[in-house]
């Protein structure tokens, strides 16, 4: 296997830990910066804002930096800088800036890395090479995020940012040593075609994706607080809890791939949204039972991860919606859902309700997504 592919996989792992590691240490960051947990949740939202911002200017950046190697190194370098700034943060506003900077290169890196894989490997081996990136995501969910959470819990929340910055430094070195010089990036892969939203099917599908993603992020943003304060787990158990969440991520993807061979995408999407709705609804009432909270988190995250494949298949089903599954557009829509979920999930706490009621807006949004999915199925029949 080419070492350059390993470098790309390591970069993917680093960005994934940077994004999802925050969920496991949110309470520690909140205490360390002396801010309310509702304000700390915006640190997850602002990372997604950074992703959207980066994707919005990606085409112009790629037009200026045509070398894939140079572009990837710069992107990972920005991620390192963002994490170092987060580690040094002494105030909420500085931390907001650090998280925004960390998020800027995330989406661009994923798309550029996929383009690099297509250029580095012959067509008959591209499936195996793409699997390597999936294994990197698996490693991030199962080991990277839990290890970062553990370091943050037993030493300091700043350790997560030190570790991810150090990992990023290793990735920069690996890309410099192993990535070939000759490959050029095609700036057109970063095009965002807003014209697709002139037709209703594309708007409806985008809304379903946004509502589904936002629904889970309403309460998953605050999973640290829910598991420690409501469910009653010790703070040092969060590493294991994040590993269980990572397992749900992996199993959601693999189970969705198997089910997609047997049932239509719209039915599979309904199942995954149903799992997310089920877990969100019960979270409000039985999250104080530790093992019930674990099961509900597992079910919700499994549905969240499993919804990606049917979303993409639904987007590819008709000419009117195919632009939704364009890499840039899809990542932007997902990130927009993350922003909405992290922000709206804080509202119940802001008006005095317990943290588990961050799932209340999730129930509303996921119910709306299911209703919209049913409406699309019955009225337009575009997603058979």
Give yes or no: residues 200 and 317 share one domain.
yes
Give yes or no: residues 330 and 255 share one domain.
yes
Beta bridge partners of 67: 184
Among residues 288, 309, 286, 301, which one has the least CA distance to residue 219? 301
Residue 283 Cα to chain centre, angstroms: 21
So what's the pLDDT on residue 382?
A: 47
Give yes or no: residues 226 and 137 share one domain.
no
Q: Coil, strand or helix: which one is 301?
A: helix
Give yes or no: residues 31 and 146 share one domain.
yes
So what's the pLDDT on residue 117?
A: 86
So what's the pLDDT on residue 190?
A: 86
Residue 335: pLDDT over 90: yes
Helix (H) or strand (E) holding 52: helix 37-64
Average pLDDT, stretch 334-349?
Answer: 95
d(CA 365, CA 216): 9
Give yes or no: residues 174 and 216 share one domain.
no
Give yes or no: residues 335 and 282 share one domain.
yes
Asked if 346 contacts 38 with a C-beta cutoff of 8 angstroms, the reply is: yes
pLDDT tens for 61-93 read 998 988 999 999 999 999 999 999 999 999 999
So what's the pLDDT on residue 218?
A: 97
DSSP characters for 238-299?
Answer: HHHHHHHHHHHHHHHHHHHHHHTTTS-HHHHHHHHHHHHHHHHHHHHHHTTSHHHHHHHHHH
Among residues 65, 134, 124, which one has the least CA distance to residue 305? 134
Give yes or no: residues 296 and 230 share one domain.
yes
- And the tokens for 260? 């997609």
Who wins on pLDDT, 240 or 381? 240
pLDDT tens for 47-58 read 999 999 999 999
So what's the pLDDT on residue 383?
A: 43
So what's the pLDDT on residue 384?
A: 46
Residue 319: pLDDT over 60: no
* Percent over 70 (pLDDT), the chain: 92
Among residues 132, 144, 32, which one has the least CA distance to residue 90? 32
The pTM assigned to this predicted structure is: 0.92
What is the tally of structural domains in the chain? 2
Residue 322: pLDDT over 60: no
Give yes or no: residues 210 and 252 share one domain.
yes
pLDDT band (50, 70, 90) for residue 269: very high
Who wins on pLDDT, 274 or 187? 274
So what's the pLDDT on residue 375?
A: 85
d(CA 197, CA 364): 24
Residue 40: pLDDT over 60: yes
Q: Which domain holds residue 370?
A: 192-384
Domain boundary among 175, 191, 207: 191
Give yes or no: residues 218 and 252 share one domain.
yes
Average pLDDT, stretch 23-38?
Answer: 93
pLDDT tens for 159-215 read 999 999 999 999 999 999 999 988 898 888 888 777 677 767 778 888 999 999 999
**What percent helix, strand, coil does the chain show, rounded to 5?**
85, 0, 15
Who wins on pLDDT, 42 or 200? 42
d(CA 62, CA 70): 10
- CATH code of the domain in which 364 resides: 1.20.1250.20
Q: What is the Cα gyration radius of the chain?
A: 20
pLDDT band (50, 70, 90) for residue 153: confident
Give yes or no: residues 156 and 271 share one domain.
no
Return all residues near 315 (Cβ < 8 A) that are at least 6 apart: 205, 321, 322, 323, 324, 325, 330
Among residues 348, 321, 215, 220, which one has the least CA distance to residue 274? 215
Average pLDDT, stretch 88-100?
Answer: 96
Mean pLDDT value across the chain:
90
d(CA 57, CA 300): 33
So what's the pLDDT on residue 200?
A: 72
Give yes or no: residues 183 and 208 share one domain.
no
Domain boundary among 148, 168, 191: 191
So what's the pLDDT on residue 139?
A: 86
Give yes or no: residues 101 and 24 share one domain.
yes
Average pLDDT, stretch 120-145?
Answer: 76
So what's the pLDDT on residue 12?
A: 93
So what's the pLDDT on residue 325?
A: 62
């Amino acid at each position: 296997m080419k070492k350059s592919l390993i470098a790309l996989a390591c970069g993917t792992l680093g960005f994934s830990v940077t994004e999802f590691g925050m969920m496991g240490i949110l309470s520690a960051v909140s205490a360390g910066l002396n801010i309310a947990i509702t304000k700390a949740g915006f640190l997850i939202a602002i990372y997604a804002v950074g992703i959207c911002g980066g994707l919005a200017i990606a085409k112009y950046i790629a037009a200026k930096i045509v070398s894939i190697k140079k572009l990837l190194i710069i992107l990972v370098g920005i991620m390192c800088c963002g994490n170092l700034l987060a580690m040094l943060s002494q105030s909420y506003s500085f931390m907001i800036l650090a998280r925004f900077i960390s998020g800027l290169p995330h989406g661009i890196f994923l798309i550029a890395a996929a383009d690099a894989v297509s250029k580095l490997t012959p067509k008959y081996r591209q499936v195996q090479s793409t699997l390597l990136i999936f294994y990197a995501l698996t490693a991030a969910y199962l080991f990277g995020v839990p290890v970062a959470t553990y370091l943050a819990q037993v030493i300091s929340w700043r350790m997560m940012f030190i570790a991810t910055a150090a990992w990023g430094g290793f990735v920069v070195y690996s890309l410099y040593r192993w990535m070939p010089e000759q490959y050029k990036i095609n700036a057109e892969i970063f095009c965002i075609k807003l014209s697709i939203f002139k037709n209703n099917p594309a708007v409806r599908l985008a809304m379903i994706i946004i509502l589904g993603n936002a629904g889970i992020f309403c309460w998953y943003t605050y999973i640290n607080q829910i598991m420690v304060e409501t469910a009653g787990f010790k703070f040092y158990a969060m590493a294991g809890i994040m590993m269980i969440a990572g397992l749900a991520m992996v199993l959601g993807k693999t189970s969705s791939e198997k089910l997609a061979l047997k049932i239509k995408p719209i039915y599979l999407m309904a199942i995954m949204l149903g799992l997310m709705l089920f877990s969100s609804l019960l979270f409000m009432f039985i999250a104080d039972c530790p093992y019930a909270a674990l099961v509900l988190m597992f079910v919700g995250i499994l549905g969240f991860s499993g919804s990606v494949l049917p979303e993409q298949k639904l987007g590819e089903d008709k000419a009117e919606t195919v632009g939704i599954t364009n890499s840039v557009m899809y990542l932007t829509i997902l990130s927009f859902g993350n922003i909405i979920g992290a922000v709206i999930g804080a509202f119940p706490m802001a008006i005095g309700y317990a943290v588990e009621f961050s799932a209340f807006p999730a129930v509303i949004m996921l119910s709306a997504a299911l209703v919209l999915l049913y409406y699309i199925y019955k009225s337009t029949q575009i997603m058979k």
